Amino acid sequence: MTESRITAVLGPTNTGKTHYAIERMLAHRTGVIGLPLRLLAREVYDRIVAIRGPSVVALVTGEERIVPERTQYWVCTVEAMPDGMGADFLAVDEIQLCADPERGHVFTDRLLRARGLHETLFLGSDTMRNAIAALVPGVQFMRRERFSELTYAGAKKISRMQPRSAIVGFSVENVYAIAELLRRQKGGAAVVMGALSPRTRNAQVEMYQNGDVDFLVATDAIGMGLNLDIKHVAFSSTRKFDGRRMRDLAPNELAQIAGRAGRHMTPGSFGVTGEAPPLSDETVEAITNHRFTPIRKLQWRNDRLNFATVDNLVASLEEGTQDEWLMKAREADDLGALKSLAEVPEVRERAVSPRDVRLLWDVCRIPDFRGISSSEHANLLERIFGFLHEWGRVPDDWLARQVKRIDRTDGDIDALSKRLAYIRTWTYVAQRKGWVDDETHWRGATRAVEDRLSDALHGALTQRFVDRRTSVLLRRLKQKEGLVAEVNDKGEVTVEGQFVGRLEGFRFRQDQSASADEAKTVRQASVQALRPEFHLRSDRFYNAPDTEIDYTEQGGLMWGDQAVGKLVAGPEPLKPGVEVFVDDEAGPEVAQKVQRRLQHFIDRKIASLFEPLLAMQRDEQLTGLARGFAFRLIENLGILPRSGVAQEVKELDQDARGALRKHGVRFGQFTIFLPLLLKPAPTRLRLVLWSLSKGFDVFPESPPPGLVTIPVVEGTPEGSYTMSGYAKAGHRAIRIDMLERLADLLRPCDSRGGFEATPDMLSITGLTLEQFADLMQGLGYRAEKGERVKPKPQAVDVAKPQAVDVPDPQPTEVPGDQPGEGTPQPPQETPVEQPDEPPARPDETPPSQPEEVPGEEDAALAVAEADAVQVEEPEKEVFFTFTWAGNRGQRREGQGQGQRRPRGQGKPGGRPQGKRGPKDAKRGPKGDKPQNFQSRPPRKEKAIDPDNPFAAALMGLKDKG
């Protein structure tokens, strides 16, 4: 037996991949091909039947099953592909749908498990190459190039659209509106949507292919392999609702649809029309050159299901994966239905055995074709499960009543479309083996109803879309009857059941598909019908809690996901105003109510987040200079760079400082600030209020919370980093509270002779040594880079730790008689309090430190090891020596121009390690006073967190010496 060959045939659209797969399947005795759509499966089935005849070709989809006795070739939707058939050949088309959030886990399962005995093909986009190579061992790749050229034609009006064009929309309403416009301007259009039955779709396509109409209006269903004679594809929108939210289409999704233009060797073009914005140059280049971002994650769901109990089944379906290429798929409809039924006591009482649980799961996999609601669908599934569990089948009389209610061909397009969706449920049930008594009868009966409804729908579509909306609205307006408006949870407005637009907050957005004559009627009817809705909505908004209202970083005011106003500059930064977004038709009463509610919201938000500032503003005990300094803080929203208020700080006496400290004011060496206002929420609001007061059109956004340093971005407005709670230093900005902690660590260092960064300095900043050097230069230090032999770590007696100086985790305030009172000066000159037991100098060993005396054998071994080390190439390390780069002649408070040493600080007895290695430092310290010029931390230091991303760099610093 020959080994099975696995090939991935990848490339853009119009490369003949599907045609190649059909040829390869017919070259084998048996084969299975899985396709993404029922429409495409029917098209491929018809092609193979034309070649081999109907007696050997089967068609299996969720709603259709044609299986001859002598079947050799199976054409299926991917979900309906039979497992374990052992066919010689197997192919899966559009394999890039592995990344689809809704159906991707099914395609991923086929990619991982489905194989032919002799040959397996995966067809799709080249974006899947890396994923397939990683997940499918032994796969071979075949690249297919597009047969024709695809070009971008820009934007065109529908009235100027060339014949043989397809206009793509992403909602039923949009498709119908475009079709009606084409009916009035171009004589008609065919309609193709995924929700249509194959019979209706084929009839519509035949109209287009025969030339009865020159235009096609379609959803993205045409992007999945449907071969049509299309010269130009125009997008009426580049956004779609994906079942969860509205989103922009990715370039590869646009290319899948645009590639339908120019079939085989005929060149094609694509562009936009209607309200769709022009495509960007990058998107156009990606589509025309077929270069897209590779897919990095495939949707996956566990296929090893546990049917012991319902809970076990749910747990197995929700099991995760550790594979880097796979991600757990979001909850699908079948799993949601299973969870709903699992909460029904009657269902739990029935599903007690593995056989019952498996049956329940099969019932839950019935698709929700009707789309009414999840609860309605769950009720239907519960009824079907009850029949199957109790009687082993769905009763004929009950099923007959369901089908009879649907078997009607009267009504408009919407009614016929709904009935077609309903009959698909019973067609699916009839296709399940053993669910009905007479399978042949019910399969034929449901198929006949579907065919009748399909023909009726085709007839309604070919009537060129009777203008039902205008006729209904005009009739009710003439009768002067009250119009009933309804607004659903998506904001869609319907008047007397007719869609007229969307209500966004308190602004009505009229449906743009109406013609000029129709638009006036729609507007008149909508305004009359929406007036009560505006008052009801304003009442709900006025009584809504603050948790439902929020502001954006650009000053917008939101009620849920709808914009209802924006902030405007007020007389003071802490007193902004409000501008509301309310239509004039809603009336002044509604606008005033919305304005009052928004003003209350922002006033309460400011009172909550800036309570320390407002309390300081109200404090009558603050007088004189303290009150003036408090107002400076209030005007600057709680943050003042010390360099700008150095003189005012010097003039504050200790009583004034104490009064300000009671309100949480911290006098740092670099910044005067209130620590409570550095939290993310006050920072976000402070930036908005500051931007309003500055009159910016675009507001700077607050940095992500929790970052100690952030990159400095050029072009950022002056002062925005300060308002964000950061101070610029070199190419990065450091959070001002952490800068004060760093200043505490720098203060005892010898910045005249030079010092090196300690692990604590790197730890609190979270920077590498090179980044820390750049930050220090931004703070006014000179950083000299050097290399030296990296000392090897020495064994330390853990039983006898030496005392270490652990810096205060909180930054200390700089008192008025220290250099920090004015412009920040070299912190090394500031007297500091020394620890009780100063650590030893890096080039000396304290005489009081006990050492173990090795024995003679140990000494000989140490000598031998030392000789071996001398032979090895010494390992180098990079270090930086920091010295103050400011004006040495500048007189500092309490010191002369000669830069006298502060009292209590001994004269440096040697150069820091950055200047000379520890082995060259011959001189000892003068006097018995503690020394401050140590160039590296004591040998015994607090433990470094191994999870710290800079643990390796910090350990290297700790190991020096």
Is 466's pLDDT higher than 70?
no
pLDDT for the residue numbered 469: 56
Q: Following DSSP, what letter does each residue of 714-746 receive, concatenated?
A: TTPPTTHHHHTTEEEETTEEEEHHHHHHHHHHH
Contact between 129 and 100 under an 8 Å Cβ cutoff? The reply is no
Banded pLDDT at 862 (limits 50, 70, 90): low
Q: Three-state SS for 328?
A: strand
Q: Three-state SS for 683?
A: helix
What one-letter code names the amino acid at 482?
Answer: G
Would you state the structure tokens that stand for residue 646, as one six-digit string?
A: 């150095």
d(CA 594, CA 543): 10
What one-letter code names the amino acid at 800?
Answer: K
Is 474's pLDDT higher than 80?
no
Residue (of 319, 38, 272, 303) closest to 155 by Cα position: 272
Length of the chain: 961
Beta bridge partners of 510: 501
Banded pLDDT at 356 (limits 50, 70, 90): very high
Neighbours of 121 (CB within 10 A): 24
pLDDT for the residue numbered 267: 87
Residues near 161 by beta carbon (within 8 Å), at least 6 away in sequence: 167, 186, 215, 232, 234, 273
- According to the per-residue pLDDT averaged within each range, which of 90-94, 764-768, 865-869 is highest? 90-94
Q: DSSP assignment, residue 160?
A: G
pLDDT for the residue numbered 872: 62
d(CA 842, CA 924): 11
Contact between 755 and 832 under an 8 Å Cβ cutoff? The reply is no
List, for residues 434-459, the tens digit of each pLDDT value. 899 888 899 899 989 989 999 898 88
- The order of strands in the sheet holding 726-729 is 709-711, 732-735, 726-729
Contact between 499 and 493 under an 8 Å Cβ cutoff? The reply is yes
Q: Following DSSP, what letter does each residue of 255-296 receive, concatenated?
A: HHHHTTSS-TTS-EEEEE-TTPPPPPHHHHHHHHHT--PPP-
Angle 333-342/374-391 helices, nearest 10 degrees?
70
Contact between 169 and 182 under an 8 Å Cβ cutoff? The reply is no
**Cα pseudo-dihedral 173, 177, 183, 185, rounded to 10:** -160
List, for residues 185-202, the tens digit of each pLDDT value. 666 788 888 778 878 888
- All domains of the chain, ordered by start, with CATH? 5-143 (3.40.50.300), 150-289 (3.40.50.300), 298-461 (no CATH), 477-542 (no CATH), 546-609 (no CATH), 611-729 (no CATH), 747-959 (no CATH)
Is 851's pLDDT higher than 50?
no
Contact between 663 and 677 under an 8 Å Cβ cutoff? The reply is no
d(CA 735, CA 257): 49
The mean pLDDT of 737-752, rounded to a whole number, is: 91
The mean pLDDT of 948-954, rounded to a whole number, is: 55
d(CA 169, CA 221): 10
Beta bridge partners of 5: 119
Banded pLDDT at 476 (limits 50, 70, 90): low
Please, where are the H alpha helices in 809-889?
Answer: 856-871
Residue (of 325, 301, 326) closest to 313 by Cα position: 301
pLDDT for the residue numbered 38: 84
- Residue 137 sits at φ, ψ, to 5 deg, of -65, 140
Cα of first residue to Cα of last residue in the chain, in angstroms, is 69
